[in-house]
Chains A and B, each alone.
Chain A
C-alpha cells in the first residue's frame, strides 16, 4: 500500500479542515465552491435510496470485483474503491453480473426532462432502548449484508462508522427493523 500516494490523493479530494465543534472553514456543502458532502455524492449516483448507483467512472478493462471486493482497497493512481456491499446476499456473488444493475453514464444529457423525485436516504439513526443499548438497523439489510462496506473502513462516513469493526457479527446485537410490508391488499 502506498501511503504517500494515498495522502496525496486525500489532499486533492478532501481539503484538510481540522474543524472541531463550532469551527467551520469550509463553504457549506451545496453552495458554490463547496465540495459536495458524501451524502450528496451518494444521492447523485442514485435515482432514489435503494436504487443501484450508476458507475461514476468509465471501465478499466477488468472485472468489477477486482477492485470492489468486500473491503475497501486503494487502487494506485485512482483512489479508494468502495467495497462490495452484497457480500453474503442470497443469489449474488463475485460471479454475478454487476452490470445487470450498475450501468455507466456515457452522456450527461437527458432524452426528455423527468420530474421524478426519489426517496431520499433516511439519515435518522436507529433506535436505542437506552443509552448503552445497540441501535437498531434503520434500513433494510437485503443487498447490504456486508455491514462494513458502509460502516467500517476508510470509505465509511463518520456519522455511521462503527467504533468496533473487529466485532464482525454485527447482527448479533443490531437488528433489522422490519419495514417490509406487506402487500397492499384490498381495493
Chain B
C-alpha cells in the first residue's frame, strides 16, 4: 500500500484523531504553561560512563535544580555512538528510590534494628574497630571487600590504606567472582593483564564466536554493533557456543550446544583439528610463542568446595616448558569422536569451528564473559581460547582477537589496573615480588618492608575466614555478598558474633541487614569518578548532583578513617581537591611500563582513552606494530610484557577436567545461574526503577518443555529446587527468553527474596580462585 492511499483510507480515523486532538491541544497548552517549557536545552548536560556493565557506554546526563532529569546516549562516544540499553536509559531513576540510605546507621545494642549516628561517631568507631583488631589479632584479622563498581579513587584509597597503612593484604573485590579467571588467563599467557583487542574489532571482524556468552542481554550495546556489521556485511557470522538458547541464539548463524563444563574438551578438539589440518601459522609460532604446561592431576588440584582442605584451599599451579610437538601429542587424545562424546557437540560442528578458526582469510573475534570465567577450570578455559588465536596467529590485529568482556563498569579500571586484589599492586605488580613492593613503597613514601609479601584472603576465602572468626573486622563497599557468594549458608552470620561488619551502600540490601554499621554512599554522578572498561578505556566524570542526606563517596569514607588511625600521610592532599593528585600518583605506577594511563587533565577533556597512552595518544591494539608505541618492530607483534617468557606469549596445554558436581540419580538436573538484560547484578539499583522492575519483577526458573511436562507442571506453577546445600521455590517459565536443554534449568540471581546462591556450589577455579556459578546438581520437585 502506498502512503497516500493509506492516508485516504484512514480518513475516518484521521477525523477522530483530529477531533480528539482539540483536547490534546488544550492539554498541551496546560503542560507547557505548567512547566514553562522545560526542554533539553534548559538542562545542563554533563558526561559520564554508564553505571552498570563493563561496556562503558558514554552517557550525557541532564541536570536541573540539582536533580538528574534525563540521560541520552552520547552520540560522540566511540563506545556506544549514541545508543544505550534499557538499563542505561533508565539510569536517572536509580538515584531516587525512596529508601536511599542517607545517614550512618549503627546496629542497636540488643542486635535488633539500627539507629542513626553522626559521621564523626561512625568514622571514629570504624577506626577504633580496625585499630583494636590490629592490636589484638594482627593484620591478618582485618579485611576490605571491594568491588568492580568502585571508582578508581575508591579502590586506590582502599588499597593504599590496607596494604600501605594497615600492612595487610586482605583486600579482595567481588570481581574475584567475575573476572579473576580472565586475569589469570592473560597473566599466564602475556604476563600482563587485559585484552589486546578493542571494540573496533566489532567492525573489523568477520566471525564472532561467543563462548558461553549471552551477549544480546549482557553487553547489548556491543551486540548491536555486531548486528550492524552483519547488516552492512551479510557474510558476517555469529557463532553461539552455549549450554542453553538465549536471545543471542536468535541472531546466531550457528548454535553449538555443549554439556556444562565440556567447553574444555571442545576447545582442545578444535586445537586438535587445527594441528591435524595443518592450519597452524608456523612463522608466527616460531617468532612469537613458547609452550607451557602446568599441574594436570585432578586429585592434586581438586575444587576447593568440600573435603578436608576446603576451608583453606591453597592449590598453586607449577609451570614447566613444553613444545609444539608435545602439544601435538597432548592433543592426539582430543579426536572429534572423543570430544563429541564428552561434549555432546556433533563432530560436524567441531569441524566447522576448526574451519572458522583456521581460515586465514577471515577475521575471528572470540568473546566470553561469565560462562568461561565462572568455571572450575576458568583459567584453563581462558588459556585455551587464547591458544586458538595464538597458534593461528589471529591476535593483535584488527578483527582478530580474543576479547574478554567484563561484567562490571570498572572491573578493569579499578580491580585489574589498580590491583585491588589480595595478591596485587597497581600496574600488573604483585606483593610476592620484592621489586614490586619496593616500587610501591617508594611511590607511597613508605619504609622498605611495609607491604607484606604474603597474599591475603581471596573473596571466597575471605568470607569463610569471617565465618570461622579469623577475620574480626571487615568493610564491604559497593557490593552485596550476602546475595552473591556461592553456597550462602556457609557465611550466614548473627550480629554480636564478635565480628564487626561495616557495609557502605546506597540502598538497604541483605548485606546491610547482616551489617553492624551501615554507611551511606554517594552514587554514580553524585561524586567525581573514574571507571575503566573492557577495551582499556579510562573514563572520567565530574560530580553533577549532590548525594542525598549525608551520603558521601566511598573513597572519602576510607580516607577519613585512615586519618583517624594516624595514617593521614597516605592521603596528603587538600580536602577539597584530592581527586586529581590522587589519580596522578596512581598513574605514576604505570608510566613507562606499557600500562600508561592518560593524564587526569586529558581524561577530563575526552570521552576516555585506551591505554597505553603515550604522548597523549591512545592504543587500539596492544602488542601490534604500528599501533602500540612500545612495539619497535616494523611488522607483526611483540609480546613485550612477557619478560619471563623471552617476550613471547605462552601457549598452555590444558586438559579436560569434569565439573565439581554433576547430575546423578538423586539430583538429576544441572543448575545454571546468571543475569538478565533488565537487572544489574543483585538488583539493588535496577529493581528500584519502575520500568525495569515491571519488566522482570521476580526470579523464575527456566525449564525445558519436556522436563516441565514430565514433572507435570505448567508455566507459572511453583516448583521447589533442591541442591545438597539449600532449597527455594520459584515459578516455572517455559520457552521464555532462554531455553535450556532437557536436564538443565536456569535461574537469575538478581532477586534478593529468592536467593539462588543458597543452592550453588562454592567450587573454585584452581588458579584464579573464582567460583563456578554455572553448574551444580539439583532436583526439581512439584510444590
Contacts and interface: CB of A to CB of B under 8 A. Distances in A.
A120 B10 CA distance: 30
Interface in B52-91: 60, 62, 64, 67, 69-73, 75, 81-86, 89-90
A16 B19 contact: yes
Interface stretch (B29-37, B260-268, B484-492, B549-557): B29-37
A174 B94 CA distance: 36
Contact of B695 (A91, A105, A140, A154): A105
B505 to A, nearest CB: 14
B99 to A, nearest CB: 5
B678 interface: yes
Contacts of A47: 89-90, 92-93, 689-691
Contact of B83 (A28, A48, A91): A91
A58 interface: no
Contacts of B72: 50, 140
A108 B694 contact: yes
A108 to B, nearest CB: 7
Q: Bin chain A's interface residue count.
A: 35 or more
B377 interface: no
Nearest to B695: A103
Contacts of B28: 37, 39, 123, 159
A78 interface: no
A97 B220 CA distance: 9
Contact of B13 (A7, A51, A92): A7
B37 A180 contact: no
Contacts of A91: 81-83, 224-225, 228
A111 B693 contact: yes
Contact of A71 (B6, B605, B683, B697): B6
A97 B47 CA distance: 26
B86 A16 contact: no
A184 B86 contact: no
Interface string B1-32: 10110110110111111111111111110111
Given A16-B19, A104-B695, A118-B92, A97 B46 contact: no
B284 interface: no
A163 to B, nearest CB: 12
A184 B210 CA distance: 37
A153 B6 contact: yes
A90 B227 CA distance: 12
Contacts of B695: 54, 103-106
Contact of B20 (A35, A95, A100, A138): A35
B17 A14 contact: yes
A90 B82 contact: yes
B447 interface: no
Interface in A2-29: 3, 6-7, 9-11, 13-19, 24, 26, 28-29
B145 to A, nearest CB: 25
Contact of B39 (A15, A80, A96, A138): A138
Given A95-B230, A114-B690, A159-B28, A107 B37 contact: no
A139 B40 contact: yes
B299 interface: no
A104 B16 CA distance: 28
B38 interface: yes
B92 A116 contact: yes
Contacts of B583: none
Interface in B238-277: 247, 251
A68 B663 CA distance: 45
B697 A95 contact: no
Nearest to B579: A187
B97 interface: yes
A184 B541 CA distance: 9
Interface in A32-88: 34-35, 37-40, 47-52, 54, 71-74, 80
A48 to B, nearest CB: 5
B694 A100 contact: no
A118 B69 contact: yes
Contacts of A34: 23
A70 to B, nearest CB: 10
B216 A97 contact: yes
A49 B70 contact: yes
A50 B91 CA distance: 12
B95 interface: yes
Given A49-B70, A90-B82, A184-B45, A16 B99 contact: no
A148 B692 CA distance: 29
A123 B32 contact: yes
A36 B677 CA distance: 31
Contacts of B694: 54, 103, 105-110
B26 A29 contact: yes
Ranked nearest first, the 5 interchain pairs of A and B with the lowest CB-CB distance are A122-B39, A158-B21, A184-B46, A103-B695, A37-B27
7 contacts: A1-B9, A29-B27, A39-B31, A49-B40, A97-B220, A97-B227, A103-B678
Given A114-B688, A122-B40, 8 more contacts: A6-B12, A14-B16, A47-B89, A52-B89, A103-B678, A119-B38, A154-B10, A184-B47
Interface of B: 1, 3-4, 6-7, 9-10, 12-28, 30-32, 35, 37-41, 43-47, 60, 62, 64, 67, 69-73, 75, 81-86, 89-90, 92-93, 95-99, 216, 220-221, 223-225, 227-228, 230-231, 247, 251, 507, 542, 544, 577, 604-605, 607, 677-678, 683, 687-697
